[in-house]
Structure 1
Amino acid sequence: MSKHTTGSLRRVALVTGAGRNIGRAIALALARDGMAVAVNVRSSVAEGQTVVDELKALGVPALLCVADVTDALAVQAMVSQVAAHFGRLDVLVNNAAIRKEATLASMSSTDWRSTLAVVLDGAFHCTQAALPYLQKATDGAVINIGGLTAHTGAENRVHVVTAKAGLVGLTRALAHDLAAHQVTVNCVSPGMIDTVRQGSSVSAQPQHHKKHAPLLGRRGTAQEVADSVAWLAGPQARFVTGQVLHVNGGTYLGS
């Protein structure tokens, strides 16, 4: 039995935006640590089901949850579905995001609002809905997935930078609010990660990737980000809360 289980009951994690790349890697990393995992997607149902199948192939209970995190009622229904299926919810990973690029002059209010809605409103909705279950857990954890440019800034990403920077503030505020219940809240901030960029929520090649390079001389992997999330969700990090963990190979230092 995994060291992350409690008695005969597995801990349960919900990972938003888990159909591909970092989200998928996080779901698999938590599963390898013994957690049951609820995989959230908004529209990429086939990708989400593939991840669920991968988890089940590892012998881990898994559940596909199709919900738009910007919709508070849909999120509430999703969390209720997770709790009804597994009987608990111990770890929430707010990974869903939009990372498209646009100049300030060309950016529509819809582009601005939709980015903040997914990243910030989504994290708020999910954490609020999960709160009753996290409070019951003896080792609850919330991990928000931020981003390098929230700290360095970047061209053509005013909406993304603002949203991801807001996650840092949300992390610190929630760390205070949830501390009395022994729920830790942290932010993992990836940068220069080698992922497949496709779909309507991302730009093919961010401009800032052309200007910055990791000190370590390579791009990171989704697995390396996922390992950091798993550590924060696990027993070794129970005295860590309100923090931002940068996973970028030193890119931040050279920016």
Structure 2
Amino acid sequence: MLHRTDRPLAGKVALVTGASRRIGRAVALGLAQAGADVVVHARQSRDEVEAVANEVRALGQRAAVALGDVTDEADVMALFQTATDAFGGVDILVNNAAIRGEKAFLDMSLEEWRTTNSVILDGAFLCSREALRSMVTRGGGTIVNLGGVSAHVGAKQRAHVATAKAGLVGLTKSMAVEFADRNITVNCVAPGKIGGKRSATAGASPAMGSGGPIVGREGEIEEAAFVILSLCMPEARFMTGQTVHVSGGMYMP
């Protein structure tokens, strides 16, 4: 039976990067509803991230706020120090921070290429490394990386994003293999076209190499968050190294 209690994550500490809005916010609140205390991260939008932290507290869980650049090693170390100081460590990490700008391939600068790959890949590497150190000492844990359907079907003007998201798949598998014997699971969730208000860096919904969702609509933020949350539950301990697609059938591996 799934979710044997109303608070299956009671006693756990979760850290969600890019948690000030959209999927990150929904995941942070879902983790709190499941009983976890939550470290809510954003790069610089303090008002938004403080609002999410207050929503976590309203659900009866503790919350801590941390601002920082996930591509900066010192910032990431400070982020996890915040988690340690507030709650003693981290049991769950959701690597959600990303940028998703659009640029035609022939117009893309090396700086734009590197910046996108750094936020998505370097950020996941740095955050996962610090989280894994905590999880090893705490006897286990869960990492969920946020990929994207563009890595599997391609997308116009998003070669940098698709490449970085594809890299997350390899990172997910490698960490899953290396830390399986430490009771740590690592999975990737690849959302498709998710509706709602997009961030300023997201651009328009890009043209993909496949058609649109076969279900005939964009996904809801809560639908993507549900799958991420499911991978954090105790019943998901036998699942690791996988990429789960939430794309309305845009991609069927």
Question: Please, what TM-score do these two structures have when normalized by structure 2?
Answer: 0.94
1:154-173 correspondence runs (5 A): 154-173=155-174
Give unpaired runs (5+ residues) of structure 2. Answer: 1-5
Q: 1:166 to 1:208 in 2, by over 3 A?
A: same
Name the CA distance, whole Å, in 2 between partners of 1:120 and 1:46.
26
Name the CA distance, whole Å, in 1 between partners of 2:123 and 2:196.
22
Alignment size in residue pairs: 248
Contact 1:192 1:209 in 2 (8 A): no
Aligned twin of 2:19: 18
Contact 2:153 2:208 in 1 (8 A): no
3-state DSSP of counterpart to 2:198: coil
3-state DSSP of counterpart to 1:252: coil
Name the CA distance, whole Å, in 2 between partners of 1:119 and 1:213.
24
| Cα RMSD after superposing both structures | 1.6
Aligned twin of 1:109: 110
3-state DSSP of counterpart to 1:184: strand
Name the CA distance, whole Å, in 1 between partners of 2:140 and 2:18.
23
Give unpaired runs (5+ residues) of structure 1. Answer: none
Matched AA of 1:109: L
Contact 1:194 1:219 in 2 (8 A): yes
Q: 1:250 to 1:133 in 2, by over 3 A?
A: same
Aligned twin of 1:77: 78
Name the CA distance, whole Å, in 1 between partners of 2:66 and 2:132.
18
Structure 1 residues 11-38: Cα deviation after superposition (integer angstroms, max 9, x where no partner):
0000001110011011011111110111
Contact 2:155 2:209 in 1 (8 A): no
Matched AA of 1:67: G
3-state DSSP of counterpart to 2:105: coil
Q: Percent identity at matched positions?
A: 45
Name the CA distance, whole Å, in 1 between partners of 2:216 and 2:129.
40
Aligned twin of 2:62: 61
Contact 1:139 1:238 in 2 (8 A): no
Aligned twin of 2:195: 194
1:157-236 correspondence runs (5 A): 157-199=158-200, 201-203=201-203, 205-208=204-207, 212-236=211-235
**Post-superposition offset of 1:165:** 0.2
Matched AA of 1:70: T
Contact 2:156 2:208 in 1 (8 A): no
3-state DSSP of counterpart to 2:107: coil
Name the CA distance, whole Å, in 1 between partners of 2:209 and 2:198.
15
Name the CA distance, whole Å, in 2 between partners of 1:185 and 1:105.
35
Name the CA distance, whole Å, in 2 between partners of 1:71 and 1:195.
29
Structure 1 residues 33-92: Cα deviation after superposition (integer angstroms, max 9, x where no partner):
110111110011111111111111111111111010000111011101111111121000
Name the CA distance, whole Å, in 1 between partners of 2:71 and 2:153.
26
Matched AA of 1:113: R
Aligned twin of 2:151: 150
Contact 2:92 2:232 in 1 (8 A): yes
3-state DSSP of counterpart to 1:14: strand
Name the CA distance, whole Å, in 2 between partners of 1:229 and 1:222.
11
Structure 1 residues 202-249: Cα deviation after superposition (integer angstroms, max 9, x where no partner):
11x123269732122221111111111111111110000000010111
Q: 1:230 to 1:207 in 2, by over 3 A?
A: closer
Match of 1:3 among 5, 8, 12: 8
Name the CA distance, whole Å, in 1 between partners of 2:168 and 2:199.
23
Name the CA distance, whole Å, in 2 between partners of 1:51 and 1:35.
14
Name the CA distance, whole Å, in 1 between partners of 2:139 and 2:234.
11
Q: 1:53 to 1:96 in 2, by over 3 A?
A: same
Contact 1:188 1:247 in 2 (8 A): yes
Q: 1:82 to 1:159 in 2, by over 3 A?
A: same
Question: Please, what TM-score do these two structures have when normalized by structure 1?
Answer: 0.93
